[in-house]
Amino acid sequence: MDVGHLVQTIAIFALPVLFAITLHEAAHGYVARHFGDLTAYAQGRISLNPLRHVDPVGTIVMPLAILLLSGGNFLFGWAKPVPVNYSALRRPRRHMAWVAAAGPGANLAMALAWALLFQLEPWMPEFLVRVAAAGIHVNLILMFLNLLPILPLDGGRVVASLLPARAAWQYAKLEPWGLPLLVLLLVTDTLGKLLWPLVYVSESLLR
């Protein structure tokens, strides 16, 4: 990839990636506050200001590196995790499912917002059209990735909240293996084969 194309790719994806990752985390904090946990609120983490959520490596370096290495086909990254006090939730097990689902839900909302902007294509500069397309792409990837039923991903948290207490406890013991499993799925391209059909179909519906 030449320098010009590299700079252009970073310029197109930078804003969608930043908002996709950081507002995902803010959504967790907002829903946690709604259900009684004020931890994130007290730390100023319920904010639409991305700077409050940025992790320099996880939010900027890692996702852009993966996007570039994958030719724009894959994304993985993280923001500073929003603190959630499980015991402060009014109904901890039930409400934790909603807190976990809020992140992917925020990505879906952002994908729809970028899709609305994309519909203005005839009246927008080409650069903004490409940014809107990147916003759809990035948010769909993060949404489907985080819905995988693997702890510590949000999908895993939802599953743990829905299982009977004993089964949930046994399931939670698998969490230390979650990240190695994700890395294995990524390097063997299994993750891409799982997610890409979902992203492709969803993207075709939104554009």
Is the separation of the CB atoms in 4 and 63 below 8 Å?
no
Residue 25 bears catalytic tag:
yes
Inter-axis angle of helices 126-146 and 3-34, nearest 10: 50
Would you state the structure tokens that stand for residue 154, as one six-digit string? 């949000």
176 preceded by a cis bond (ω within 30 of 0): no
Query: Two tokens at 173?
Result: 């013991």
CA 67, distance to chain mean position in Å, is 14
Structure tokens at 40: 């994130």
What's the Cα-to-Cα distance from 50 to each of 13, 53, 59, 198, rounded to whole Å? Answer: 15, 5, 10, 27
**Residue 64 to residue 196: CA distance in whole angstroms:** 18
Positions annotated as catalytic residues are: 25
